[in-house]
């Protein structure tokens, strides 16, 4: 993901926009912990705030494969994608 901005889902490559790649990198850096949307917006430089629909309107399959969230505005990587060696 980091060098080519591509995610492998179901054996197929899916190109990631710079914004989606940045979002996933923020979640990856959190090592599976919850990250609130206000922090995500700040890290991504989004002055109008973070909205899931804005980032993933064309990347729903990426969102569904890698990300979990709650109604409070927290996002985290699915446990199977957390790099355990970093914990």
**What domains are there in the chain, each with its CATH number?**
6-86 (1.10.10)
- Nearest by Cα to 10 from 66, 77, 86, 76: 66
Strands of 74-77's sheet in order across: 35-36, 74-77, 67-69
Q: Are 46 and 53 in contact (CB under 8 A)?
A: no
- Per-residue pLDDT reduced to its tens digit, 25-47: 999 999 999 999 999 999 999 88
Q: Are 32 and 77 in contact (CB under 8 A)?
A: yes
Q: What pTM, to 2 d.p., does this model score? A: 0.84
Per-residue model confidence (pLDDT) at position 85: 54
Round to whole Å and give the CA distance between 13 and 52. Answer: 22
């Amino acid at each position: 993901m980091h060098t080519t901005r591509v995610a492998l889902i179901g054996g197929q490559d899916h190109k990631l926009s710079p914004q989606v790649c940045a979002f996933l990198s923020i979640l990856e850096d959190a090592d599976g912990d919850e990250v609130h949307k206000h922090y995500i917006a700040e890290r991504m430089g989004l002055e109008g705030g973070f909205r899931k629909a804005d980032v993933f309107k064309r990347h729903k399959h990426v969102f569904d494969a890698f990300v979990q969230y709650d109604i409070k505005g927290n996002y985290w990587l699915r446990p199977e994608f957390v790099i355990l060696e970093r914990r």
